[in-house]
Amino acid sequence: MAMTEHEIFARLAEILVEVGGVSASLVTREADIVDDLGISSLWMVEIIIAAEGKFNVEIPDDALKDLRTVQDVVSYVHRVQASGAGLGMESSASEVPAT
């Protein structure tokens, strides 16, 4: 079952704080992951790995270019979960259309 966007945001915020070392007060839906939160490309890889495990979705490299804000990631994960294209499913996450 797909999580709500609120649940995804809360868990993603935990990942950003725990893995990325970001201050919880900086994590908002509008925050730009690179510019506002200061996440480097190396840390982004670690965050994506953690997110894939926590949300049971695949976030392919070609999708990363479109994931600039926290809300972009929340929306992407929500779409993938709602489509049933999570890890271990027949569909690929990259086949999920953007909205």
Q: Domain with 49 in it: what CATH number?
A: 1.10.1200.10
3-state secondary structure of 32: strand
> What residues contact residue 57 under an 8 Å CB cut-off, 6+ apart?
51, 77, 80, 81, 85, 86, 87, 93
The reply to whether 74 falls in a domain is: yes
* pTM, rounded to two decimals: 0.82
Sign, CA dihedral 67-96-61-91, equals positive
Question: How many structural domains does the chain have?
Answer: 1
- DSSP assignments along 65-94, one per residue: TT--BHHHHHHHHHHHHHHT-STTSSS-GG
Tens digit of each residue's pLDDT (9 = 90 or more) over 26-54: 999 999 999 999 999 899 999 999 999 99
Q: Model confidence over 76-94: pLDDT tens digits?
A: 999 999 998 765 543 344 4
Is residue 98 one of the residues assigned to a domain?
no
Q: Is residue 22 part of a domain?
A: yes
pLDDT at residue 63 tops 70? yes
